[in-house]
Amino acid sequence: REISWWYNYNMEMENYTITILSNTNILITRQNVTPMNYTGGREIWIIPDTIQLYPDNNYKWRIDTNAHFNQEYESSGSESEWGHFRYN
């Protein structure tokens, strides 16, 4: 139960927001995560057991790379494309 991705930025990431939706766009979870590597590389997020996923169901997920906050306003960052997975 993990999601992994690679990234390469010239700026330091302050945190990620991971979003998982059902295939019918029902919110499963949205959580802020601190990066393991602040300037690039592989990241892994283990899906906690408290998050209910049902066998043989399809889900989608994406990462928001939040960067450089100034008084709660984000001045840089990006979103990934939606990734899809089937939970078994």
pLDDT tens, position by position, for the chain (88 residues)? 898 887 766 555 567 888 999 999 999 999 888 877 766 678 888 999 999 999 999 999 998 876 566 666 666 667 788 999 999 8
Nearest to 65 by CA among 21, 22, 23, 8: 8
pTM, two decimals, is 0.78
Long-range contacts of 48-52 (CB under 8 A, 24+ apart): 49/1, 51/20, 52/28
